[in-house]
Structure 1
Amino acid sequence: MDLTDLVRAMFALALTLGLIGLAAVALRKYGPDAISRISAQKKKERRLRIVETLTLDPARRILIIECDGRERMILLGEGRLVADLPARADA
C-alpha cells in the first residue's frame, strides 16, 4: 500500500463522514416534524377530535370525542369498542 492509496482512503473516509454529517443536519432541520409544519399551513377543518380521555384500568379507557359538533362517549377495552353512549347534553 503506497502513499496514494493511503491518501485516497483518507479522502474517501472524510467524504463519507462529511456526507453522514450533512445528512444529520438535514434530518435535524427537515426531520419528522417538517411534515406536520407543512400540513399545519393547510389548516383544513377537522371533523373529529378527542375532547377528553380517562383511564379506568390497564385494559379499559373512556373517551369523549366530538364529531360534527356532537359529543359521544366511547368505552374502549382490550383493543376493542365496548360501548358507544351518547354524551350528556349541557345546554
Structure 2
Amino acid sequence: MVTSAAYYVYAALMLGLVIGFILVAGWLVRRFGGGALLRLPGRADRRLGVVEAMALDPRRRLVLIRRDGVEHLLLLGGTQDLHLEGPITRPGPPLGPPHAPRRAFDAILQETAAPPATAPGQDP
C-alpha cells in the first residue's frame, strides 16, 4: 500500500477536527453547566439532590445534599464517610433587609401581635 503526504495531512486535519469538537463540547458544558443536561422534562419530582460540594483536599470533600426538602452535610473520602450535620431545615424568609435596625423589627412584631381593635360602640 502506497501512502502519500496527502494522506498524513488529511489524517492530521481529521484528528484536529475531532479534538476541536471535544474542546468545544467541554467549553459548552463548563459554560452552561452539566446539570442542564439532566434537567429533562419529567424529572422535576426528584427527591434527592446535591446542593453544593467543596473539595477540602485531594481525598476529602464536603457535600451538602437535600432529601425531601431537608439538607444534610456529609464529609466524604478518607478512611470513612461522616454525617456531620443534619437534618438542616431551610431558614424562613428574612424579616427585612440586613441593614435595618433591630428596633424596626421589634415594632413590626408588636404591631402584628397587638390585639385587634374593638368595633365602634363596644367597650374595650
TM-score, normalization by structure 2: 0.42
- Could you tell me which runs of 5 or more consecutive residues in structure 1 were left unpaired when the two chains were aligned: 1-7
* 1:51 CA displacement: 2.3
Greater radius of gyration (CA): 2
* 1:25 CA displacement: 1.3
Q: Report the counterpart of residue 74 of structure 1 in structure 2.
A: 74
How many equivalent residue pairs? 78
Alignment of 1:8-19 (within 5 A): 11=4, 13-19=5-11
Alignment of 1:7-86 (within 5 A): 11=4, 13-29=5-21, 31=22, 33=25, 40=36, 43-44=39-40, 45=43, 47-53=48-54, 55=56, 60-78=60-78, 80-83=80-83, 85-86=85-86
1:42/1:81 CA distance change after superposition, 3 Å: closer
TM-score, normalization by structure 1: 0.51
| Structure that is richer in strand per residue | 1
- Could you tell me which runs of 5 or more consecutive residues in structure 2 were left unpaired when the two chains were aligned: 93-124
1:54/1:28 CA distance change after superposition, 3 Å: closer
RMSD: 3.6
Higher relative contact order (CA 8 A, sep 6+): 1
| Structure that is richer in helix per residue | 1
